[in-house]
Structures are given as C-alpha cells and as structure tokens.
Amino acid sequence: ETVPIPHPPRIPLIGSVTSFDREVPLNTFILLAKQYGEIYQLDLFGKIIVQLNSYALINEVCNEMRFKKTVAPALAEVRDLISDGLFTAHGDEENWGIAHRLLMPAFNAQSIRGMFDDMKDICDQLVLKWERFGHDNIIDPADDFTRLTLDTIALCSMSYRFNSFYLTEPPQFAKAMVEYLKECFARATRPSIVQAMMPGASAKFQENKEFMTSVGNKIIEERKANPIEKKDLLNIMLFGVDPKTGQRLSEDTIMRNLLTFLIAGHETSSGLLTFMTYYLMKNPETMRKLRNEIDEVVGQEPIQLEDLSKMPYLIAVMRETLRLSPPTPQRSAAPVADTVLGGKYFVKAGTYLRLHIWAMHKDPTIWGEDANEFRPERMLDGKFEALPPNAWQPFGFGARACIGRAFAWQEVQLVMASVVQKFDLFFVDPSYNLELQMNLTVKPKNFHIRARPRNLGP
C-alpha cells in the first residue's frame, strides 16, 4: 500500500514556499525538514522536488542499481561554464569516464602525500600573515581560508600561483567565481520571466564566465609553452591516455576540469576550516584536548607529513565538524525506474530527489538525542568505523563521490594543526552564534576572530 508524499500547501504560480530564504536556501530546507519529517514534496517555482531527510530513506537511495546522481538546477547552471567537467557531468557523458579514470590515481593517498610541500608553502603564508598582523587585527576566517584553499589547489594541481596573501582584495578570479556561482544559484530559483528582465545580471554573468575561461586557457597555454616534469594534475590531463578507451582529453575538457578543481576544490575545504575554527572556539574543552595532542606530537617544530597520521583527535574533530556542518549540505539523485521508497512512497523514474545530508547527519536514530551537539568523542575509538553504512557522507556517495577527499583531508589537517599549534583564538563578538552564508556551498557568516601568537613559555 503506498501513501501520498506530504507537501506544504500549494499556491498558484509561486508554488509551495511563500517565504523562501533566497540568501540561504538551506535555512528553508532545515525548517521544512523539522515540520515535515523524513520526506516531503516541494513545488519550487515550477520544479517538483522530493526532499529526503532521514537516514533510512537516504541510505535506501545509496544503491547505484536503483538511483543515480542528477545535476541539480544550480549545478546545471554551472554547466554553462564547465559543462561535462567531473563535478557537473551527467553520468552517461563519455568525458566523465575518461577524466575519472585518468584522474583517480592522481588523487590517491600516495599522490596527495607528494603535494605536502606545496600545501605547506601556502599554509606558512597564512600563519605568517596572522603572526605579522598580530592580535589587534580582525580576521575574517572565511576570507583567509578561502585565499588559502584557492592558492593551494591551484599550486598543487597546476603549479599556478594566485598569490592571494599578497593582495588586499581577493584575486579577480576568486571574485569572478563567487559572483558567478551566486548568480547560478539565483538563476536556479528565479522564474524565467524575471530572468528575462535582468539584462545587467546576464551581461555580468557572461563577462565572469569569459574571464574564468580565459584564465583556464592561459594556464594551459603557458604550460604548453613551458613544459615541466612535475606529475601534477595538469600534466596528467595534458599527456594522459585513458587506459580503457585509449582516448585523450581535449583541450576544452582539460580547461573545464581545471576550472572544476578550482571551484570544487576550494569553497568546500575553506568551509570545513571555517566551521572547524568556530566549533573549536565554542568548545574550549575540545580545543584544549586538540592542542594537547598537537603539542605532544609536533611540539614547537614545523609540522611534518609523518605527524598527520599521529593525531586521531584532530581527525575526530574534522569528522564531527563535517557531520554537523557539511559544506555541501545536499546532493541530488533520481530513480532509474519507477520505484517505492521506504516501502510506501511511490516515485516515478527520473523524479528529482534531493538528499538533505545536513538533516540526515542529525538523525537521532543514528546519532542519539544529543545529535545537535558538537562531540568529537563520538567519532573516536572505533565508533566511526562502527557507524551504519552511509550514515556519514559529507563527501557524497559511490562513483560520483568526491575525488578530492584525500586532498582536502591532508590540507585541512595541516592547516588546522598549524593554526592551533601557533595561535590562541578569540571571538571579536563573544556572543557570536553560528549564522550561515551560501554560494554554491555553505559557510559561517559574520564570524570574526583575533589570533594571538601563543606564548609557549619557558
């Protein structure tokens, strides 16, 4: 016996959400999940979306025989720039397979370890900046961490330097990208009639797209004119041959994947760093434990690659941060054929399902009654490994899971350990509580800190 999927009342033309938070759509979805529970259907400006919020339903959708990734409306807008790049490709696009097979080895743990020195280069720039500006300086962690992650992915993957820490304003590329992604999001929730009345926004959109494309092409041209030995991602894409088809990537595809790494590889990691800073500062006991671990393993020496595997508490803090605040809070899938969800909700083939990972990560059937609390201890001592399948998935799922996971992991370990090793952190507004901002990913908003170089004493 199937039952209808609950839905908020529908209003003609507007759909079912009268007070949609356009600035931070996530806030609306969090609210609706609380009101409707495990599943509800939404008519969002003419698009029908089935939202899944519980572990049980989302786990069921983690079956690649029955469901496949779909490119959500906001991502579909980004396709205008990066088309069949890894992140925004449809599953059946040939270039996804070629790039996936070529690049998976380039992102494995071994290759990532080889990037440690480049990661440290950029990390040291952030530490120096905070040391030199001193305690009076007001830091916007989201801003500095975004400089860091953009510079890091560009240096590691294409040996290119944005030099963000030497600029007062973020580099023009970063500005163009943020504007562009924000506009993609807005377009996805803007009725087409409204869109048609915004020629200014469309011109800017086009201009940003052309600028980013030109940077991508310039990086490729420069590499071709000045070849280097290094086995970075750019060289692998330029010279690699797909073992399965014998094909190589076209220059267009390479440019789109370069832009994909810059987009997918920096907002997310910087979100994790910023959320983590916030949770550590809000939970002084956790901060104290983490610092003890770092002091014991690293002391006052520069952090080495080998140190990273010796800090389990740091890993627990990262996992717990990604549970409470996954920077990509939702992902999308569709049933391959007509099917029934949870034994009672009928959904047609191709229905747009949105998996609300942010909500699922707080499902009390998995995480207990204190699901909303920040408690890294729940990720320690084998408890993480003992979680039910797919209960923790900030990096997505299956064939379309994040390719940059090991990269982000090492980068964030290094940077967080360095920051906690070197600085005492203070809220500028001691009463600050987490607020969210959103481009393509989500981050803390209005969060400001001061960093005082630690007095390590005699």
Binding positions for ligand MNH, rule: CB under 6 A: 69, 86-87, 100, 153, 260-261, 264-265, 268-269, 272, 327-328, 331, 394-396, 400-404, 407-408
Distance CA 235, CA 106 (A): 10
Nearer to ligand MNH, 419 or 450 (CB): 419
Closer CB to ligand MNH, 211 or 395, in the complex: 395
* Nearest C-alpha neighbor of 145 from the set 263, 260, 272: 272
| Residue 123 annotated as lining a ligand binding site | no
Q: Are 414 and 113 in contact (CB under 8 A)?
A: no
Residues 408-446 as b/e (b if ≥16 CB within 10 A, e otherwise) read bbbbbbbbbbbbbbbbebeeeeeebeeebebbbbbbbee
Nearest CA to 51 out of 90, 24, 16 is that of: 16
| 184 tagged catalytic | no
- Choose between 68 and 375: whose C-beta lies nearer to ligand MNH: 68
The answer to whether 406 and 112 have CB atoms below 8 angstroms apart is: yes
- Written as one letter, the residue type at 412 is V
Active-site pick, 123, 156, 184, 402 = 402
CB of 341 to ligand MNH, least distance (A): 18
* Dihedral (Cα; 130, 434, 269, 166), 10-degree rounding: -30
Q: How far is the CB of 402 from ligand MNH (least distance, A)?
A: 3
112 vs 220, which CB is nearer to ligand MNH? 112
* Known active-site residue 395: yes
Q: Which of 331/361 has CB closer to ligand MNH?
A: 331
Comparing CB distances to ligand MNH, the nearer of 201 and 305 is 305
Cα 452–Cα 270–Cα 423 angle in degrees, nearest 5: 15
What own/partner pairs with CB < 8 Å and gap ≥ 24 does 298-305 have? 298/417, 298/421, 300/421, 300/456, 302/120, 303/120, 303/414, 303/417, 303/418, 303/421, 305/113, 305/116
Residue 200: CB atoms within 10 A of its CB come to 8
Q: Which of 211, 395, 426, 427 is catalytic?
A: 395
Contact 276, 420 (CB under 8 A): no
Three-state DSSP class for 337?
coil
> With respect to ligand MNH, which residue has the nearer C-beta, 405 or 454?
405
The full length of the chain comes to 458
Nearest distance in Å: CB 3, ligand MNH: 28
> 11 or 401: whose CB is closer to ligand MNH?
401
Cβ of residue 405: shortest distance to ligand MNH, in angstroms?
A: 7
| Residue 17: CB minimum distance to ligand MNH, A | 23
Q: Where do we find the tokens 């079912």?
A: 16
Helix, strand, coil share of the chain (percent; to 5): 50, 10, 35
Residues 6+ apart with CB under 8 A from 127: 418, 419, 422
Distance of CA 136 to the CA centre of its chain: 31
Residue 452, phi then psi, degrees to nearest 5: -110, 120
Q: Which amino acid is residue 206, in one-letter code?
A: Q
Q: Among residues 268, 277, 321, 328, which one is catalytic?
A: 268
Say how far apart CA 88 and CA 263 lie, in whole Å.
11
Q: How far is CA 211 from CA 159, 174, 175, 184, in A?
A: 20, 11, 11, 16
Phi, psi of 88 (to 5 degrees): -100, 5
Active site residues: 268, 395, 402
Residues placed in the known binding site: 402
Residues placed in the known binding site for heme: 402
